[in-house]
Amino acid sequence: MKSAIEAVLFIGGGPLSLDRLKGIFEDATKEQIEAQVQALQADYDARDAGVMVAEVANGYQLATRPEQAVWVRKFKTVKVTTRLSRPALETLAIIAYKQPVTRPEIEAIRGVNIGGIVRNLMERRLVKIVGKKDVPGKPILYGTSVEFLQYFGLKDLSSLPTLREFQELDAVEDAMVEALPERDSGGEAPRDEAAKELDAAAPAEGGSPEETVASEASRQG
């Protein structure tokens, strides 16, 4: 079963939960499947393989080892044409740590209009609509997506670094750029209602790099 699990993870295209694997290997218990996944990882470790079984977004998927990142980057030929700006990264951090959160709440922390930034994050599928806040006007609530976890290699949101750690990671922007594949125009567009709300905001990504998430968050808290 171990080799079969390896094959399924290879073609899975994303994290496969234990429940999903149980649905495939119906005759095995979850404990048996989990043991085989661990045995597969042990095999990779024993031969110092370039790939590993990663726990991402509450599931398992095959991934390249972090120490091989330099070679993976050299292999890549498709470059991301639009880098995330520092204001976009700060906005993404606020959404990640304060979700579910509305656009006005994010703007209260950052002190600038972030309509265009949120639109960009949604187009990259890092942010999604998670509901509406039960207050007058019912503003849209935003949160991070499963793809956000995949891109940063996080098992779940509890694996997020602290706000201070996030700010101190100078390589965060480069990591995002390396992780994000180039999107074609055939991707899902944000929901019409969200587009209308964001259309009311200026598209410019305002704010200076000095407006750090940590300082703004502490000011509000």
User: Are the C-beta atoms of residues 103 and 134 closer than 8 Å to each other?
Assistant: no
**137 and 105 assigned to the same domain:** yes
pLDDT-derived band at 145, boundaries 50, 70, 90: very high
CA distance 88 to 85: 5
**24 and 90 assigned to the same domain:** no
The pLDDT of residue 69 is: 83
Distances (CA, A) of 77 to 2, 128, 136, 187: 33, 29, 49, 21
Identify the domain boundary among 48, 75, 102. 75
pLDDT, tens digit, 9 for 90 and up, residues 55-66: 988 899 999 998
For residue 208, pLDDT over 50 is answered with no
Q: Which domain holds residue 16?
A: 2-75
On whether residue 80 sits in a domain, the answer given is no
- Comparing 15-19, 74-78, 83-87, 140-144, the range with the smallest average pLDDT is 74-78
pTM of the model: 0.47
Element at 63 (helix H, strand E): strand 59-64
Average the pLDDT over 191-203 and give the result: 53
pLDDT, tens digit, 9 for 90 and up, residues 164-177: 666 555 444 455 44
**71 and 127 assigned to the same domain:** no
User: Are the C-beta atoms of residues 220 and 94 closer than 8 Å to each other?
Assistant: no
Q: Of all residues in the chain, what percent carry a pLDDT higher than 90?
A: 37
CA distance 82 to 96: 21
Domain count, the chain: 2
Distances (CA, A) of 28 to 21, 35, 37, 90: 9, 11, 13, 44
**42 and 140 assigned to the same domain:** no
